[in-house]
Amino acid sequence: MGAPFRELPQTPPGPVVPPVRVSIPSLGVRSDVVPTGVDRDGTTQSPEDVDVLGWYRYGPAPRDSGSTVIVGHRDGRGQGRGALYALGALSVGDPIRVTLADGSRVDYRVVAREVLDKQAVPLEDIFARSGGRVLSLISCGGVYDRARGGYQANVLVTAVPV
């Protein structure tokens, strides 16, 4: 009947190389990136410093399949405008450069920009762990409503590697 069954060795996945810097020339953005996770309320963490961006470390890194999610503040009390203050001004075709911890770079171009009500954010799409490689940049946007706890929308910019 043939040779007995044996498991073939599996090739382990390559090391995760996290992003450490994002540059968006059209906005004048050059920001450090730190790994982030999830807050107690289940939302994605953003760094406290509005000039620093956060990479969702439980999702894909820029060289992996799926959506690399990087978040940042539009602004912050006592800190002023954040790194992603003008995220909504990006246009389709604008370049974005992500520098990785090993010094390599991944260049992207913007393919979509949306303003989404916070209750209607397509989390499964944004945090996809498979499929094509995309970069998802997210910041607050829309109307600021102090009585309702802050901005009522998110700006989502989607970019693909070039």
| Lowest mean pLDDT segment, chosen from 5-9, 20-24, 36-40, 101-105 | 5-9
Q: Is residue 95 part of a domain?
A: yes
Residue 139 CA to residue 119 CA, distance in Å, equals: 14
Q: Tell me the range of 86-95, 115-124, 142-151 where mean pLDDT is highest.
A: 86-95
> How many CB atoms are closer than 10 A to CB 136?
21
Determine the pLDDT at residue 66: 96
Note whether residue 4 is domain-resident: no
- Give the mean model confidence (pLDDT) for residues 70-96: 95
**120 falls within a domain:** yes
- CATH code, domain with 103: 2.40.260.10
Tell me, what's the pLDDT at 10? Answer: 56
Domain housing 64: 19-161
Question: Is residue 5 situated within a structural domain?
Answer: no
User: Band of the pLDDT at 42, cuts 50, 70, 90?
Assistant: confident
> Hey, what long-range contacts does 125-132 have (CB within 8 A, 24 or more apart)?
125/67, 126/67, 126/69, 126/156, 127/56, 127/59, 127/67, 127/69, 128/66, 128/67, 129/59, 129/60, 129/65, 129/66, 129/67, 130/65, 130/66, 131/65, 131/66, 131/67, 132/65, 132/160
- The total domain count for the chain is 1
Question: Does 104 have pLDDT greater than 80?
Answer: yes
